[in-house]
A and B are shown apart, each in its own frame.
Chain A
Amino acid sequence: GQQLNQSPQSMFIQEGEDVSMNCTSSSIFNTWLWYKQDPGEGPVLLIALYKAGELTSNGRLTAQFGITRKDSFLNISASIPSDVGIYFCAGQENYGQNFVFGPGTRLSVLP
């Protein structure tokens, strides 16, 4: 079945730094979602993307739907300690199909 790859698997950054992570697929997707999961909690939707090239922001977070429709990017600016968690991407290949989730990027923010 479809598989999503997320890069990097994990990252350690200093507070205040900007963060970039991406999600790639071998298939063309029509929808990309980005979630954040805190320890012991469920994933929380951050940003939803529906069109190739779309750039959407949510506070310090910005995500882009790649032009090739096979990737998506998430950037976090001026990281803070509460940004710590696992960031998951999810993609939908065809309308009505279930979303496939990537393995996650684990973010640690050092004070």
Chain B
Amino acid sequence: DSGVTQTPKHLITATGQRVTLRCSPRSGDLSVYWYQQSLDQGLQFLIQYYNGEERAKGNILERFSAQQFPDLHSELNLSSLELGDSALYFCASSVGAQPNSPLHFGNGTRLTVT
């Protein structure tokens, strides 16, 4: 158990809809990262937050947004969903105080857009 909690585990929704994915980082971790993994693909970095502030952006679509709350949990919002958004979405956390501290991943949310 990595200590990173993601909910829900599965999400099925229709095109055009909006969903929210939630992540609770490991106790003590200040950084939260979001990654997208499509079928048989690698991990694509979306966005990072550190102690409530956006730290870095990757290949995140404008239809997607995220935030990190004062209690350090994070939410990833996906809107105007398209079939191609179907993927596993992973949250990871790290201490963040050390610039090269490893990431610890949750078990992901599997999003299916029909």
Contacts and interface: CB of A to CB of B under 8 A. Distances in A.
Interface of A: 30-31, 33, 35, 40-45, 48, 50, 88, 90, 92, 95-104
Contacts of B45: 98-101
Interface of B: 2, 4, 6, 33, 35, 41-43, 45, 48, 56, 58, 90, 92, 99-100, 102-108, 110
Contacts of B102: 33, 45, 48
A49 B12 CA distance: 39
Given A88-B42, A98-B48, A42 B99 contact: no
Contacts of A103: 41-42
Given A101-B43, A103-B42, A44 B99 contact: no
B58 A96 contact: no
Contacts of B103: 33, 45, 90, 99
A102 B42 CA distance: 7
Contact of A92 (B41, B56, B100): B100
A98 B106 CA distance: 18
Contacts of B104: 45
- A-B interface, 10 closest residue pairs, ranked by CB to CB distance from nearest: A42-B105, A95-B99, A96-B99, A31-B100, A101-B43, A103-B42, A42-B107, A43-B105, A48-B102, A41-B107
A44 B42 contact: no
A102 to B, nearest CB: 7
B83 to A, nearest CB: 21
20 contacts: A33-B102, A35-B105, A40-B107, A42-B6, A42-B92, A42-B105, A42-B107, A43-B105, A88-B42, A92-B100, A95-B99, A95-B100, A97-B56, A98-B45, A98-B56, A99-B45, A101-B35, A101-B42, A101-B45, A103-B42
Contacts of B58: 98
